[in-house]
């Protein structure tokens, strides 16, 4: 209860700040596609989830074209445990045997995807839920390391359906399950899927929502947030070990999408009220922006 009141107070303050600074940015990004990757810890809390959804609908209402790519790792874990299967990870990727693949597909494509679609619809937007299989939007291939089972990499992206949907005023909501040429389903990390989709549709921005303030120079100290960096800085941070753990695939996918023409990639804290609006529509933003 207390948390909700504090959230609402911060939300009000944010709204005032965004409204006072937003206009030039709204003009700059009107008609442009922004790919938002939503998942992980930022998805666990209902209040946070509603806030992110409202931001997505707001973006659309001011003429920006949002595309949501989602994960749902914690929800997959919940259902695996319920079914007596043990979640296993190696280097941040879920080891995915055939039973786990079934659960991943049911949870992401069925439950999480349709929940997000319904929330966007309730908030006044028009969403269409897809996974990589629909219209071959994402074609998968097995990851190089066979030890991960049915973990896939993106072999190609066909952006035609996604582009058609945004042009017609829908918000595509895409889960990161895709098939190979034989129809075998693969589990693709949602950050990776979002980066490749952003690149294939030539998005103005790729925004990864997570549960840290962004890229930190010292990741136990939030005051060391790196607000703006370029591709070379990002590569150096990985090489020097400043960026580690689950942040490595995020930064790598930002770098890959920028190298393929995405305008800017952002890693921001999905726990902050209106994180998306603050990052896109204010001068300072709230997280880390990587530019080409």
Ligand X SMILES: CC(=O)N[C@@H](CCC(=O)OP(=O)(O)O)C(=O)O
Ligand Y SMILES: Nc1ncnc2c1ncn2[C@@H]1O[C@H](COP(=O)(O)OP(=O)(O)O)[C@@H](O)[C@H]1O
Binding mask 21-40 for ligand X (x = CB under 6 A): ------------------xx
11 binds ligand Y (CB under 6 A): no
Cβ–Cβ < 8 Å for 206, 254: yes
**Among 28-36, 127-135, 184-192, 214-222, the segment contacting ligand X (CB under 6 A):** 184-192
Establish if 68 lies at the interface with ligand Y (CB under 6 A): no
DSSP letter assigned to residue 283: S
Does 71 help bind ligand X (rule: CB under 6 A)?
yes
Query: Minimum Å distance from CB 161 to ligand Y?
Result: 25
Give min distance, CB of 277 to ligand X, in A.
21
215 binds ligand Y (CB under 6 A): yes
242 lies in the binding site for ligand Y (CB under 6 A): yes
Please report which helix (H) or strand (E) contains residue 122, including its range.
helix 113-122
Contact of 209 with 52, CB cutoff 8 Å: yes
Which of helix, strand or coil describes residue 6? helix
The backbone torsions φ and ψ at residue 279, rounded to the nearest 5 degrees and listed phi first, read: -70, -40
Closest-approach residue to ligand X (CB)? 71
Q: Which does 93 bind (CB under 5 to 8 A by kind): ligand X, ligand Y, none?
A: ligand X
Q: Kindly state the tokens that stand for 131.
A: 């996974």
How many CB atoms within 10 Å of residue 61? Answer: 11
249 versus 292: smaller Cβ distance to ligand X: 249
By DSSP bridging, strand 127-131 and strand 65-70 are unpaired
Is 73 annotated as contributing to ligand binding?
yes
Residue in 104, 276, 121, 93 with CA at minimum distance from that of residue 175 = 104
Q: In this complex, which beta carbon is closest to ligand Y, that of residue 117 or of residue 226?
A: 226
Establish if 198 lies at the interface with ligand X (CB under 6 A): no
Candidate segments 11-19, 79-87, 148-156, 207-215, binder of ligand Y by CB under 6 A: 207-215
State the binding partner of 189 from ligand Y, ligand X, none, CB within 5 to 8 A by kind: ligand X
Please work out the total of residues on this chain that contact ligand X, with binding judged by CB under 6 A.
Answer: 14
- Three-class DSSP labels, 37-98: EECHHHHCCHHHHHHHHHHHHHHHHCCCEEEEEECCHHHHHHHHHHCCCCCCEECCEECECH
d(CA 215, CA 235): 12
How many CB atoms are closer than 10 A to CB 50? 13
Q: Which of 186, 175, 176 is nearest to 148 (CA)?
A: 186
Judged by CB under 6 A, the residue of 41, 85, 163, 179 near ligand Y is 41
Query: Closest Cα to residue 141, out of 89, 181, 196, 98?
Result: 181
Is 94 within any annotated ligand binding site?
yes
By the 8 A CB rule, do 210 and 41 touch? yes
**Structure tokens belonging to residue 105:** 């597909």
Contacts with ligand X in 87-106 (CB under 6 A)? 93-94, 104
The partner in contact with residue 216, picked from ligand X, ligand Y, none with C-beta cut-offs of 5 to 8 angstroms by kind, is ligand Y
245 is a contact residue toward ligand Y (CB under 6 A): yes
Q: Which of 34, 40, 66, 138 is in the footprint of ligand Y by CB under 6 A?
A: 40
State the binding site for substrate. 72-73, 94, 187
- Which residues of this protein are in contact with ligand Y, per CB under 6 A? 39-41, 92, 210-212, 215-216, 219, 242-247
- Which residues of this protein are in contact with ligand X, per CB under 6 A? 39-40, 71-73, 76, 93-94, 104, 151, 176, 187, 189-190
């Amino acid at each position: 209860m207390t948390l909700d009141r504090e959230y609402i107070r911060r939300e009000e303050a944010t709204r005032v700040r965004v409204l006072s600074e937003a206009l030039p940015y709204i003009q700059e990004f009107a008609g442009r596609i922004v790919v938002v990757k939503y998942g992980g810890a930022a998805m666990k809390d209902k209040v946070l989830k509603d806030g992110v959804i409202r931001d997505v609908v707001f973006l659309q209402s001011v003429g920006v074209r949002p595309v949501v790519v989602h994960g749902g790792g914690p929800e997959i874990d919940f259902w695996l445990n319920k079914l007596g299967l043990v979640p296993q990870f190696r280097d941040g990727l879920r080891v995915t045997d055939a039973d786990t693949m079934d659960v991943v597909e049911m949870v992401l494509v069925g439950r999480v995807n349709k929940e997000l679609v319904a929330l966007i619809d309730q908030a006044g937007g028009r969403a269409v839920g897809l996974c990589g299989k629909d219209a071959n939007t994402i074609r998968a291939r097995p990851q190089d390391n066979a030890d991960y089972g049915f973990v896939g990499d993106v072999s190609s992206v066909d952006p035609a359906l996604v582009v058609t949907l945004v042009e017609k005023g829908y918000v595509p909501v895409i889960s990161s399950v895709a098939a190979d040429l034989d129809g075998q389903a693969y589990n693709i990390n949602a950050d990776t899927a979002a980066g490749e989709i952003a690149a294939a549709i030539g998005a103005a921005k790729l925004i990864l929502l997570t549960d840290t303030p962004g890229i930190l120079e010292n990741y136990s100290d939030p005051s060391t947030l790196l607000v703006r960096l370029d591709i070379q800085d990002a590569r150096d941070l990985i090489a020097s070990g400043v960026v580690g753990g689950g942040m490595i695939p995020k930064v790598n996918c930002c770098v890959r999408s920028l190298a393929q023409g995405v305008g800017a990639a952002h890693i921001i804290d999905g726990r902050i009220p209106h994180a998306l609006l603050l990052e896109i529509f204010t001068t300072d933003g709230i997280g880390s922006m990587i530019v080409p």
